[in-house]
Amino acid sequence: MTHALLDAHKTLTELREEREDQGRNPSLNPTMGDIINHRFSRRSLLTGSLAVAAIASTVSPLALLAAKEAKAATASAFDFDEIEVAIEESHFVAPGYDASILLRWGDKVFADSPEFDPMKQSAEAQLKQFGYNNDYVGFVPLEGSNERGLLVVNHEYTNAELMFPAWAKIGKDKDGKDKVEWGEHSPEQVAIEMAAHGGTVIEIAKNDGKWAPVLDSKYNRRIHLGTVMEITGPAAGHLRLQTKADPTGKKVLGTINNCAGGVTPWGTWLMAEENFNGYFGGEIAEDHAEARNYKRYGVPAGDYVWAKFHERFDVSKEPNEANRFGWVVEVDPTDPASTPKKRTALGRMKHEGAESFINKDGRVVFYCGDDERFDYVYKFVTRGTFNPNDRAANMSLLDDGTLHVARFNADGSLDWIPMEHGQGGLTAENGFESQADVLIEARRAADFLGATKMDRPEDVQPNPKTGKVYCLLTNNTKRKAGQEDAANPRAENAFGHIIEITETDGDFAATKSRWEILLKCGDPSVAEVGASFSTATTKNGWFGMPDNCVVDADGRLWIATDGNNEKATGRTDGLWAVDTEGEMRGTSKLFFRVPVGAEMCGPQFTPNAETMFLAVQHPGDAGLATYENPATRWPDFRPDMPVRPAVVVVTKVTGGKIA
Ligand code: FEO
Ligand code: CA
Ligand code: CA
């Protein structure tokens, strides 16, 4: 059912995205617009029936065997029945699967949590309840179980207009068109927002075929803006990280805008701090020592009013606080008393995620995207090696290693350029006195190294089965004609693309790799879009704006999208399964779709691939959405309940592996 509200103006999320993603990279790194022969990697696709028919025309047993193999090669790695795109008030999953609500905003995290009462929400209650806008979802098995484990969930941001009753109203913009107008924030509302950010650790278990939270678990924890965190690694304690409240430069309260993330091989949870700039207000003098740094990160953006209530978010009063955000935070979910660590060795940026792989030499490699138009892809290689028998030793791996930034060359080679103080212009004369400066201003450091300006890097996901790495570029409508390059081949790239990286000889620490484009996204039936899905992809199978992804136990790729906004594409966001091997490479199929206004986040599997977790973020946020008038009241569909972001758990009705 098409929702009438969809015809209204841009949503707040869209407006926020536009403001967030203007692109703040002023460097002169080439966009390689002068490269004429773009390196497209669309593979010629022999249809399955033709391939089999050609071989089956002979009769020898060998040929029959070959025919069998050919048939296998032309089959998709996925066997579910594709669903149709639609814009509806509820979610929808492929036939034969169950998609149930596991945890909603406001749900109890502890046995003594108060019941969710949206008309009387308080910060005190919110601190004991599931936070807002679930994004990354990780699963840490307990005692090796696939039916009992810790779910770790990031709560990226808040939608005040959908959270607070009788607060946002419909007003008029300067052209006389309807728009959503925010009310004034009370101190209590700001406190609720701060409590709804961060993350949740919650034990979950499957009993009688049904997953549910274990509320009296000793592991359950809420992380929020008041959680004490330690800053570690090469920039810890640096002058630029010291504030009035923390002269040590090593202790910070909370984490914000935790987008995607990762679970390390030693079972810790990584929360990536993304659009941290939006939380800062005030003004910084143009000649201030941090002015150049803050400009590069878009600080302050003033999306939130927290600066009015908390000096530390006002850059004119506390000019160093914004240097304490934009990091990857490591949390030990098995110890609720542990202090989360902001790991400065991975650099400061708008971190999307931090997925990892144990290299063949034992070092651990983490891939990170910096989600802004024209920003970069990074990888961090630990100095030390993973020790499966010494978890305590693994806990410091993220404090020492080498951060690299990616240069995608037109010949299909990829340079991972080490970001080391003193090398390649990262010197005192350019404002880098030490490695700490390189990490605090990772973006500006990468500018000097000739990194490739990408179309908004989101998840970067290694595939342990194949040794490939998938890099999701969500879109970049600001790339102008003439600014295309081999790795970002479309101007006004509205639908994004996916790059496949092959690390040399399976060495994930390699500094010279190869790359090719797996998919250029968008509607392949519209020639001007220039999409490159395989011809076996149906009208439901294509997608735009790839954002999060997961690789399942069989090495198969699943893509979650953000921004298939209903008006432009006739579809909501969802989860698509993408073949990467054989002749079906580049074929995509729709498995799950979100309710109207939502973004698809999370995708995660239990190790046995029998359970999938999906995060439905900002549902109902379409058109002129307010608390009273959301685009859907998913998932409760009760007039006395607001629309609520929630984690969905997917299982096969008959049991067994998904798809
Ligand atoms: Fe929070 Fe880049 O998505
Ligand atoms: Ca994302
Ligand atoms: Ca992911």
Q: What one-letter code names the amino acid at 563?
A: G
pLDDT on residue 53: 33
Ligand 2 centroid distance, CA of 153 (Å) = 13
Instruction: Tell me which residue of 7, 163, 177 sits closest to 623, measured CA to CA.
Output: 7
Longest Cα–Cα distance in the chain: 82
Question: Could you identify the residue written with the tokens 């594709």?
Answer: 82
Q: What one-letter code names the amino acid at 84?
A: E
For residue range 514-547, what is the model confidence (pLDDT) as tens digits?
Answer: 999 999 999 999 999 999 999 999 999 999 999 9
Ligand 3 centroid distance, CA of 604 (Å) = 7
DSSP code at position 130: -
Count helices and strands in the chain by DSSP H and E runs: 12, 33
pLDDT on residue 563: 87
pLDDT on residue 12: 45
Q: Which residues crowd ion ligand 2, with CB under 5 Å?
A: 259, 547
- Rg, the chain, Cα only: 24
pLDDT on residue 564: 80
Q: What is the CATH number of domain 3-274+326-652?
A: 2.120.10.30
- Please state the domain extents for the chain: 3-274+326-652
* Interaxial angle between packed helices 48-56 and 61-74, expressed in degrees from 0 to 180 and rounded to the nearest 10: 180
Check pLDDT > 50 for residue 607.
yes
pLDDT on residue 14: 53
- Smallest-distance ligand from the CA of 602: 3
pLDDT on residue 281: 98
Ligand 3 centroid distance, CA of 281 (Å) = 30
| Window from 26-40, 301-315, 585-599, 620-634 with minimum mean pLDDT | 26-40
Sign of the C-alpha dihedral computed for residues 124, 127, 129 and 131 taken in this order: positive
pLDDT on residue 41: 27
Instruction: Please give the mean pLDDT across all residues of the chain.
Output: 91
- Which residues are bridge partners to 418 per DSSP? 404
pLDDT on residue 45: 28
For residue range 419-478, what is the model confidence (pLDDT) as tens digits?
Answer: 999 999 999 999 999 999 999 999 999 999 999 999 999 999 999 999 999 999 999 999
Burial of 207 (0-12, 13-18, 19+ CB in 10 A): exposed
CA distance 299 to 542: 36
- What is the number of the ligand 1 atom nearest to the C-alpha of 474? 2
- What is the number of the ligand 1 atom nearest to the C-alpha of 260? 1
Ligand 2 centroid distance, CA of 246 (Å) = 31
- What is the number of the ligand 1 atom nearest to the C-alpha of 369? 2
For residue range 186-213, what is the model confidence (pLDDT) as tens digits?
Answer: 999 999 999 999 999 999 999 999 999 9
Please compute the mean of the pLDDT values over residues 209-229 and round it to a whole number. 98
Q: Are 591 and 80 in contact, with CB atoms under 8 Å apart?
A: yes
Check pLDDT > 90 for residue 18.
no
Check pLDDT > 70 for residue 2.
no
Instruction: Tell me which residue of 216, 242, 181 sits closest to 108, measured CA to CA.
Output: 216
End-to-end CA distance of the chain: 27
Which secondary structure element, helix H or strand E, spans residue 439, and what is its range? helix 435-440
Contacts for 28 with CB less than 8 Å, ≥ 6 apart: none
Taking phi over 0 as left and psi of -120 to 50 as alpha, with beta for the rest, 167 belongs to alpha
For residue range 94-144, what is the model confidence (pLDDT) as tens digits?
Answer: 999 999 999 999 999 999 999 999 999 999 999 999 999 999 999 999 999
CA distance 491 to 485: 9
User: What lines the ligand 1 site, CB under 6 Å?
Assistant: 156, 259, 274, 352, 371, 458, 547
Check pLDDT > 70 for residue 40.
no
* Atom 1 (ligand 1) nearest CA: 259
Q: Establish how many alpha carbons lie within 13 A of residue 485's alpha carbon, considering only the half-sphere containing its beta carbon.
A: 18
Check pLDDT > 60 for residue 74.
yes
Check pLDDT > 90 for residue 21.
no
Contacts for 462 with CB less than 8 Å, ≥ 6 apart: 355, 356, 357, 365, 367, 468, 469, 470, 508, 551
Check pLDDT > 50 for residue 233.
yes
C-alpha distances in angstroms, 611 versus 57, 105, 237, 279, 364? 43, 21, 42, 35, 27
Assess whether the previous peptide bond of 462 is cis (omega < 30° from 0): no
pLDDT on residue 318: 98
Instruction: Tell me which residue of 69, 63, 97 sits closest to 83, measured CA to CA.
Output: 97
DSSP code at position 9: S
- Percent of the chain whose pLDDT exceeds 90: 87
Cα-Cα-Cα-Cα torsion 252, 256, 258, 262, nearest 10 degrees, comes to 0
DSSP code at position 176: S
- What is the number of the ligand 1 atom nearest to the C-alpha of 275? 1
Q: What one-letter code names the amino acid at 29?
A: N
pLDDT on residue 389: 97
CA distance 20 to 12: 12
Q: How confident is the model at residue 51 (pLDDT cuts 50, 70, 90)?
A: very low
For residue range 370-389, what is the model confidence (pLDDT) as tens digits?
Answer: 999 999 999 999 999 999 99
Cα-Cα-Cα-Cα torsion 365, 369, 370, 376, nearest 10 degrees, comes to 90
CA distance 542 to 546: 11
For residue range 245-287, what is the model confidence (pLDDT) as tens digits?
Answer: 999 999 999 999 999 999 999 999 999 999 999 999 999 999 9
